Amino acid sequence: MDKVKAKKIILRTLIGVVTLLVVVSAIQFYLSYRSNTNFEAVEEAFDKKFPRTIDSYSDLKVEAESYTTPYDLMIANDCK
């Protein structure tokens, strides 16, 4: 009888551990999914506050368009 009781205890413990592992994995998956959808909302709010296009920053756009690179100078010298 002792072997039968030991097997039952081991089997119940094993089933409990597997069940706990499945539940913890499901909770982690749900939290990961929820954080990913929340990330999209945060990213949208950030884009509204700080636009990613250069058209939103007129002073930087003018400076970027008027910037002369060394490559531009080489082309200008070759054309002379």
Residue 65's pLDDT is what?
A: 67
- Per-residue pLDDT at 75: 82
pLDDT tens digits for 44-61?
888 888 877 766 667 776
Residue 30 CA, chain-centre distance (Å), reads 15
Q: Distance between CA atoms of 34 and 41, rounded to whole angstroms?
A: 11
* CA gap 14, 54 in Å, rounded: 59
Taking only the tens place, the pLDDT of each residue in 11-47 is 999 999 999 999 999 999 988 887 767 777 778 888 8
